[in-house]
A = this chain, B = another copy of it.
Amino acid sequence: MRKILVIGSGKSSSYLIKYFLDKSDSENLHITIGDISTENAKKLIGQHKNANAIRLDVFDKESRSEAIKNSDIVVSMLPARFHIEVAKDCIKFGKNMVTASYVSKEMQALDASAKNKGLIFMNEIGVDPGIDHMSAMQVIDRIRDKGGEIILFESFTGGLVAPESDNNLWNYKFTWNPRNVVVAGQGGAAKFLQEGTYKYIPYNRLFRRTEFLEVEGYGRFEGYANRDSLKYQHAYGLDDAKTLYRGTMRRVGFSRAWQMFVILGMTDDSYTIDDSENMSYRDFVNAFLPYSPTDSVELKFRHQLKIDQDDIVWEKLEELDIFSATKMVGLKKATPAQVLQKILMDSWTLDADDKDMIVMYHKFGYKLDGKKYQIDATMVSIGEDQTYTAMAKTVGLPVAIATLDILNEKITTPGVQIPITKEVYEPILKELEEYGIEFHEKEVPYLGYNPLSN
């Protein structure tokens, strides 16, 4: 039996573990799931004969080393900051490793040691980052192979609620970590490249500089810019591209409404509010509005943000019951972002039978024989239920397939890496299609960056 150690069995591990279990007989696999609490792991493996769950505290050196030493390959599904101790043990005991997380500086620093020992440390092989890398590089390499030159690359991903469960005015529910949604876009200006010019958007304008995207069969979406659209410029070989833009997808109208919270300061996570515990939702809103002995919180809100009587954003606010004088915040020493998250969770938590959805949209502009072309590629994945979510599927399956491909020596190049080489993305994207994760490509007229949509 080939022994796979999976560390961490949170929300995103359902499909990953199912994949391994389903292949365990044919591929001769034994799967050990290690977690600080084994409850979810036990639920996911049931009575399967080829798997077991063990209690594993990643900070307990002895048990961690022991588990890693006993495995043939290690998958870390822990939060990114916990990978490094696992990675060091993998170097020590000569084990390959797979994670869905961004390559940290500490991880990158292990590159020479990994290569030295012939070890593969595969990272960023979830959905975003992960499927975005692989699907983008597949098209980019194909265009290059026929002599084309990439001049534009835009890429958007969204974790959203599935159309059949989309029943609120925001067309949004939390399908992943709510906190990340509330603080999204903070920490510095978004930077990207449009037709050869660097562009910068400060946080206070981020949600007003969106562009629209149409996905066949799924309608319209909008995208707002990620912090750093140039992060993979060099890795993708796009040093000469004129337009580079990476963004996050929401349903149309989300961002314009979200902007109200940004402008009033309700997404701030840098300070705590006095006496937040005893505030009503209404008190919370009022803390960001001028004092008045007579005017209502509602009118002050409308006035500050110049919201017309018949603007739909107002109904979006009312749907959240954000002006309630009876619903209490009940959080001690909370930041504005924490209070807002709590208010949103009342409305945006998935119901038991709700499904989630992952959407991805790439645009590739290129020059070939003096002419300009564009390919748009889209992918949509819908969850089955609240265990087998689209998020868990699109994060877990690439991790699982990569793990097996490494065990089976389909992937052999050592070092700390991300999935941007043909050796990695070809077999994985091919197998993902069997699970319905596939991109639909469309040739469209090349318009360059289109300012009318901005």
Residue of B nearest to A192 (CB): B291
User: Closest residue of chain B to A336, judged by CB?
Assistant: B200
Residues of B within 8 A of A189 (CB): 265, 268, 270-271
Name the interface residues of A261-298: CB closer than 8 Å to any CB of B: 262-265, 268, 270-271, 273-275, 286-293, 295
Interface residues as binary, A197-209 with B (CB distance below 8 Å gives 1, 0 otherwise): 1111111110001
Are A197 and B286 CB-contacts (below 8 A) given A293-B451, A295-B451, A451-B291? yes
Across the two chains, which residue of chain B brings its CB closest to A454?
A: B290
Interface code A10-46, partner B: CB below 8 Å = 1, 0 otherwise? 0000000000000000000000000000000000000
Query: Is the Cβ of B265 less than 8 Å from the Cβ of A198?
Result: no
Q: Is A449 located at the chain interface by the 8 A CB criterion?
A: yes
A202 engages B291 (CB within 8 Å): no
Closest chain B CB from A207 CB (angstroms): 12
Tally of chain A residues near chain B (CB < 8 A): 40
Q: What is the bound-complex CA distance between A197 and B293, given in angstroms?
A: 11
The distance from the CB of A199 to the nearest CB of chain B, in whole angstroms, is 6
Residue of B197, B202, B286 touching A264 (CB-CB under 8 A): B202
Contact: A291 with B188, CB < 8 Å?
no
Which residues does chain B contribute within 8 Å of A265, judged by CB atoms?
A: 189, 200-202, 204-205
- Asked if A448 CB lies within 8 Å of chain B CBs, one says yes
Name the residue of chain B whose CB is nearest to the CB of A242.
B291
Chain B residues within an 8 Å CB radius of A275 = 198
A291/B199 in contact, CB under 8 A:
yes
Report yes or no: B199 in contact with A287, Cβ–Cβ below 8 A.
yes
Majority SS at the chain A contact face? loop
Q: Are A271 and B199 in contact (CB under 8 A)?
A: no
Q: How far is the CA of A192 from the CA of B293 in the complex (A)?
A: 17
Residue from B200, B286, B290, B454 within 8 A of A209 (CB atoms):
B290
Complex copy number for this chain: 2
Shortest CB distance A259–B (Å): 10
Contact, CB under 8 Å: B451 / A197: no
> Does A386 make an interface contact (CB < 8 A)?
no
CB neighbors of B among A182-239 (8 A): 188-189, 191, 194-195, 197-205, 209
The distance from the CB of A174 to the nearest CB of chain B, in whole angstroms, is 23
- Asked if A195 meets B293 with Cβ closer than 8 Å, knowing A201-B265, A263-B202, A263-B204, the reply is yes
Which of B199, B264, B268, B286 meets A290, CB within 8 Å? B199
Interface hits, A309-348 → B, CB 8 Å: 336
Closest B residue to A300 by CB, please name it: B451
Task: Report the minimal beta-carbon distance from A192 to chain B, rounded to whole angstroms.
Answer: 10
List B contacts of A270 (CB < 8 A).
Answer: 188-189
A297 to chain B, nearest CB (A): 11
> Are B205 and A263 closer than 8 Å at their CB atoms?
yes
| In contact, A273 and B202 (Cβ under 8 angstroms) | no
Between A and B, 25 residue pairs with Cβ closer than 8 Å are A188-B268, A189-B268, A189-B270, A189-B271, A195-B291, A197-B287, A198-B273, A198-B274, A198-B287, A199-B288, A199-B289, A200-B271, A200-B287, A200-B288, A202-B265, A202-B268, A202-B288, A203-B204, A204-B204, A204-B263, A290-B451, A290-B454, A291-B449, A291-B454, A292-B451
Shortest beta-carbon contacts, A-B, top 4? A202-B265, A194-B291, A204-B204, A292-B451
